[in-house]
Amino acid sequence: MCVDNHISKILVVDDRPENLFAMGNILKKENAELIKVTSGNEALKQSLNYDLALILLDVQMPDMNGYEVAEFLRREEKTRHIPIIFITAIDREESREVQGYDSGAVDYIFKPVNPQILLGKVRIFIQLYENKIQLQKFVLDLEKKNEILEKEIARRKKMEIEKEKMNKEFMMVSHQAGKAEVATGILHNVGNVLNSINVSAAVVSENIRKSKVLDLSRAAKILQKQTGRMAEFLTEDDQGKNFIPYLFQLSEHLIHEQEDVVKELGAISKNIDHIKEIVNMQQSYAGISGVTEVMSIQDVLEDSIRMSRASFEKHKITLERNYGETPSITIDRHKVMQIFVNVLSNAKHALNHINDRKRILILSISSSGTHVRVLIRDNGMGIKKENLTKIFSHGFTTKKNGHGFGLHSSALTAKEIGGALSVESEGEGKGASFVLDIPIF
């Protein structure tokens, strides 16, 4: 696959040439460049030479096994964010899978390799890689628009510098987040705000283009020519008699122009502050996963909501909160936020498909003594009964352009932190409820 002639590269690592040949045959239909190596050392070398979309890494290799290679990759800034899928012939054991995930892997494929499973997973990660490329292109396009806007409105120079800085911070935070779902959600919500900024910028640009300031300059030149006979010009000349009323009309028009520009600049400033709020919030959650702290689950949920506020407002979704008193709990806030962002995004998608009633999203928090429960309920399109058991399965999705990874990863994350993510729905058109239970330690 490729984005604007950028061909994705996949590094395939296996000490057996026949396995590399077989993997190449399976992936040959994919529009991607395969880089094949037979050792861990060669894999580390090639990972620094190329911008890789994905690494397919054999676990059992001489000299350096797959786990050791993954550990080295995770230590390097250039390679730590490259997704790794382990290819292994070892029997499936939870302890080994955990070791792989701790080493930096995002998934496992067990030998003998099922071509359909391999292709499905490779396509998902290639798509996520393309999203990253599109994100970079989007930021570059945004910077160009900022430069144009700065030339048109000198007084906005300081504001545009802050905006450019914010975009760079946002890009860095998106990479540090490590989860494509969160990064994509941020981009979508920032994009909604940027659409409003572009509309306001267009209005300001049009007002400047049609401004009557040039008429004021022409009037000044007329007065300059009448130096020495100003009184006679204003009282006896046909043009001069109408000059002062004309100046009053021109001044009123310019005042209205200024009010319109100030109004639009205020809207731009407000929207930029919203984007900065999203970026600052994401920065606070972009720490290393696995670090736990004692905090309120309500604060994490509210931060997740604020990140999606623009989307909720755009789609006219009403939020109803029912927060009971709950104790502070020990959690990895980065992981919990990823769950909330994915579930909220799913709810927003479900609500976008209804037009016959008010779109409502209900948020509840309660405590049972041993667990804190967060309920996110929408009155959207609902879930078919036969799909309730598939909703958290890898690759399952009902979205036209979905990849079935968000809710699957959320369920795994919930389990990893000792909790559980479940879903309930009475059927199509009757909404859905997602429940996250987290133990109180």
pLDDT tens digits, 163-186: 677 655 643 443 344 355 555 556
Smallest CA-to-CA distance from 113 within 1, 10, 24, 8 is with 24
| pLDDT at residue 382, rounded to an integer | 92
Tell me the average pLDDT across 339-346: 89
Consecutive H or E run containing 2: strand 2-3
How far is 362 from 344, CA to CA, in rounded Å? 11
Q: Count CA within 13 A, CB hemisphere, residue 110.
A: 6
Q: Residue 284 is which amino acid?
A: S
How far apart (Å, rounded) are the C-alpha atoms in residues 175 and 339? 18
Across 141-150, average pLDDT: 73
pLDDT band of 240, cuts 50, 70, 90: low
What is the predicted pLDDT for the residue at 56?
Answer: 92
Q: What is the CA radius of gyration of the chain?
A: 29
- Does residue 292 have a pLDDT over 70? yes
Residue 396 scores a pLDDT above 70: yes
Lowest mean pLDDT among 37-46, 180-189, 387-396: 180-189
Residue position matching structure tokens 């004309």:
246
pLDDT of residue 174: 36
Domain 2-126 has CATH 3.40.50.2300: yes
CATH superfamily, domain 293-439, is Histidine kinase-like ATPase, C-terminal domain (3.30.565.10)
Low-confidence winner among 290-304, 389-403, 410-424 (lowest mean pLDDT): 389-403
CA distances to 44, 48, 108, 291 from 76, in Å: 10, 9, 22, 20
% pLDDT > 70, the chain = 75
Per-residue pLDDT tens for 188-200? 566 666 666 776 6
Asked whether the predicted pLDDT for residue 66 surpasses 80, the reply is yes
E strand segments, 4-136: 6-13, 32-37, 54-58, 84-88, 107-110
Instruction: Render pLDDT for 406-418 as a digit per residue (tens, 0 to 9).
Output: 788 888 888 888 9
Average pLDDT over residues 271-298: 67
Mean pLDDT of 122-138: 86
Q: Please name the residues in contact with 226: beta carbons below 8 A apart, sequence gap of 6 or more.
A: 233, 240
Least confident range from 20-29, 130-139, 224-233: namely 224-233
pLDDT of residue 311: 79
pLDDT, mean over the chain:
79
Give the start-to-end residue ranges of the domains of the chain: 2-126, 153-286, 293-439
Q: What is the mean pLDDT of residues 383-411?
A: 80
Question: In angstroms, rounded to a whole number, what is the distance separating the alpha carbons of residues 338 and 137?
Answer: 24
Q: Residue 349 CA to chain centroid, in angstroms? A: 15
pLDDT bucket at 440, cuts 50 / 70 / 90: confident
What pLDDT, in 10s, does the model give residues 241-253?
Answer: 777 777 777 777 7
Residue-level pLDDT at 191: 63
Distances (CA, A) of 362 to 146, 301, 359, 370: 38, 12, 10, 23
Helix (H, G, I), strand (E, B) or coil at 77: coil
State the average pLDDT over residues 108-117. 86
| pLDDT score of 342 more than 70 | yes
Q: Which of 230-239, 255-264, 275-284, 328-337 has the lowest mean pLDDT?
A: 275-284
Put simply, whether the predicted model's pTM sits higher than 0.75 gets the answer: no
Quickly state the pLDDT bin for 213 (edges 50, 70, 90).
Answer: low
